[in-house]
Amino acid sequence: MCQKRRGISLASLEELLEETETGIAFYVHVQPAAGKTKVLGRHGDALKISVAAPPVGGRANDALVQFLSKTLGVGLSSVKIISGHSARKKRVAVEGTDRSMAAKLLESVLHRAGSSRK
């Protein structure tokens, strides 16, 4: 049974994540200068994440890396933006996690973000 949170199921999240030799890789659609840093859901073939930091001097990218590191329980050096440094759509690689675990962790923050709005 697939659990749904804010229009995206756990299976749908897992579908966005690609296994690599050292972890996972996936696309992120970033919404910079938002009120809060959080997972918003799915945006086409990407995970949509808002970041509070503005897109100036790499601050939004740094905020994205910090958020993913904390959310996925890996060190900062384990999260790398591998393409799209100056674009909203980025390809991110995360070492030290797998597709299933990452999907569950992302789903849990998506659920918490939805709960806090009630």
Contacts of 33 (CB under 8 A, 6+ apart): 51, 52, 53, 54, 55, 60
pLDDT exceeds 50 at position 4: no
Mean pLDDT of 70-92: 97
Residue from 67, 71, 75, 9 nearest 42 by CA: 9
Predicted confidence (pLDDT) per residue in 41-70, tens digit:
999 999 999 999 999 999 999 999 999 999
Mean pLDDT of 86-90: 97
Using pLDDT thresholds of 50, 70 and 90, give the confidence band for residue 113.
low
pLDDT of residue 114: 62
Indicate whether this model's pTM tops 0.75.
yes
CA distance linking residue 57 with residue 75, whole number of Å: 22
Residue from 21, 18, 77, 79 nearest 46 by CA: 18
CA distance linking residue 83 with residue 33, whole number of Å: 20
Burial of 55 (0-12, 13-18, 19+ CB in 10 A): middle
Predicted confidence (pLDDT) per residue in 9-52, tens digit:
888 899 999 999 999 999 999 999 998 999 999 999 999 999 99
The answer to whether 31 and 51 are in contact (CB under 8 A) is yes
